[in-house]
Structure 1
Amino acid sequence: MNRALLKTLVRISVMVCAIIICSGAEARPGSDTDAAFSYYESARKLYRAGNYEAAVEEISKAENLNALPAYTVFRAWCVYKIGDQAKGIATILTLLEDETLSRRDRREFQSVLTRMRATAQTVNVRVYTRTPLAKIWLNGVLLEKQHARKGVPSIAGTQTIELRYENSRTMQDVLVAPNTNQTIAIDLPGGDLVVRNIPEESKVQLNGTDVGPPPEQGWRLIPGSYQLTITMGHVALLSQTVTITADTEEAIIVGVPKEARLTPRSKTRKWAVLGGSVGILGLVGATLVHNSADNDLTKAGQAIDPKTGQTVQSQFHAFELHARGEQKMTTATILYGISSAVILGSLAWWVVGSPDTSEKLRTSLFISPSSASMLWTF
């Protein structure tokens, strides 16, 4: 009898414990759901009051307790209202990739995304880097170097800039507020290569790639070896291998050889060609004026009107033709002189500009290399 009673008591105890455990397990989700909804209500009140930052904190607590897509959309909208429009839109786009969303939720979330895009503001983002060989990515899109320097339009908010070269990469998130333009500076970690005394018209290459003149503070390069080549016209100013180590600076001063200093600038020769062309046109014009003057003088001598071809009855008309012819002849003479001077000057500018001629002139006139280089600075 006692055994039967004991078994019955044990069974009752086990059942009571099971009921307590099950009821506790069912009660906890309900409490989390209620707490999450409470945070959601608090976030809504803060949103109506215009306190979007605090609303984001409250709705994030609700998401941690109950990850409902509706809470995520509300957080994205609060972030959008703060000014990080790009992040708000990105959050909605990520949520729409969830294939388990119901049709109703997908339709409503798509409507929110449409409203965001319709009111989003565009900013101009410029990316400045001292790492010339690296590729620049802005929000996952590869940028051309010239576009990165000039600036590209982007939605206001968090801008993700990434720099990649070989196996090295760095990433940076920058918040760009609406109605503002911003230049973002980013470099790969490494050492600096400073190159000074580079002529303006020289061509600079790094590992065979045109990189243009270096910035004042130098290039920031990842550790390794680089082939630096600098040319000016047909003259090689520098060609050497440079080794870069981390957190160090390598400085190079470019020496300009004599033949590079004496080589005239391309703009100078262009002006010489232009001057010669103007001089030739002047000779053509002078010739036409001279022919017209000669014709007037001939007609005046024959007392024939050049317009009608009839004999001039008045001596006054003959004098008028003669005066006009003399005036044209004077004009032609002046044009001949000016045009000839322009052509000779342009020819001298071109001939003296050749390296061999410049060297001979410099030697014969005892002009120093530094003074000779100044002859071609206009």
Structure 2
Amino acid sequence: MSLPRIAIDAMGGDVGVRVMIEGAALARRRHERFQFLLVGDEARIVAALENHPNLRAASEVLHAPDVISGEDKPSQALRRAKTTSMGMAVDAVKQGAAGAAVSAGNTGALMAISKLALRTLPGIDRPALAALLPTLGANDLVMLDLGANTECDARNLVQFAIMGAAYSRIVTGLEAPRVRLLNIGTEEIKGTDALRVAANELKAASAELAMSFENFIEADKINRGEVDVVVTDGFSGNIALKAVEGTARFVADLLRRSFASSLRSKIGFLISRPATELLKHHLDPNNHNGAVFLGLNGVVVKSHGSANALGVANAVAVAARLLEENLTQRIATDLTRVGADNLRPTGRTAAKSRAAE
């Protein structure tokens, strides 16, 4: 049985057509049920498909005359959405021509286009960008928001927690993921008013939801395997994510430099190579590629701009799994169960929320 088609923005990312088509082809080889709508420059896509007959047989090409660049502002992208590969891929989801869209293009533009085209689910004020991060535990963790919303109130954080828990149940198989709010300390008195209000709301709602809310977590504990969902505003989340990625690259580069420093070190590298290969695999962002815009009336997956074919294939697999597991309906059901629409922003955060809208 085939899944709904997945629309691929073939022009997005640092490399563009070649890597996006190679990634889709790899995903198709892994999963014969995948069907694709490849959106972009038709001539370039058709030429790239010559090397991938299996993908060609499972794909339709939709010509897009324009491309959104990494420098385009979201407002510029919105004005050109109807003629760009990114905008047309998302519109295919809106029109029912595809079940999900995958793009490696401009994140801000993709968020703006997706939110305008698909709108948010009832009870969700703002979509959140969620991604998987490696841990020392038995499974990856879900972290959100990672940059879609720089300022969030308690209501937003509660909605993020509900969406993140639903996503975690799909990707980890856990019945009640452990959820925590990112904070500067674990004591109940720490953090902003929004964090403390959100914590109280989630404690009260946990009995109605398939999650285990465990209050706060500090940034140095994110990857220890002690939590399954980390919730924060997009400003803090983006900084935390880049700090984690930068530390991973630092460790990898430091090991590489150390092993090359002397003959004894090179011999040591040969002895420890199985362990270093495992480390490399664990830290490679391509193995965790595929961030998701949660809270939309449709599935949109953001691939890292520098992802290789393996990374793109993994992003496609994320989109397919969310379709198969009906993520959107799961989130809607949880929102109804907890009555999240009853939470209202108050005080200063309410003023900021109204100003943002």
- TM over 0.5: same fold? no
TM-score by length of 2: 0.21
Higher relative contact order (CA 8 A, sep 6+): 2
Larger Rg: 1
